[in-house]
Structure 1
């Protein structure tokens, strides 16, 4: 089941190509939610791409992790327990990001 979920998440964007003209609404809604949470000091639990500074044993790489956003901006980074396979996948993804940035 974990493999199915991983593949579904990894490939979800492929179905978005059929709705390309509508994808801006999701981005707009997320941007609105973040701004609203900051201005009204309401906690928003959201996946957010942030610079990791030791979280998940990663440094100097931006990755999407679960955060709480409020009037302070990102007030908390939520770290999930990962099994060895998940840690290995995360390390691999982080290295791919670093390699892509270095290639620019």
Structure 2
């Protein structure tokens, strides 16, 4: 699935985000206009990793602001068997949210 945003979603995502104009230009081109990241890497003389990082920075901000009501994002270091259980819970929660749509 290609990551895409509307102009409104993009504007919401970048509110308060501390990034430079070039990062915004790259993210807008990829996320709104659907341009390939490779095009920016070539045009700006940057690595694909740098382009990906710029896009992911804005996408992560969008993703964080759009959690469903009653959900929180967590990050934890757990023993393997407990991590397995938490991953299953995450899969179940995703399935439940998709069925509600």
What is the TM-score of this pair, normalised by structure 1?
0.30
The structure whose Rg is larger is 2
More strand by share: 1
| TM-score, normalised by the number of residues in structure 2 | 0.31
Instruction: Kindly indicate whether structure 1 or structure 2 has the higher relative contact order, using CA contacts under 8 Å at least 6 residues apart.
Output: 2
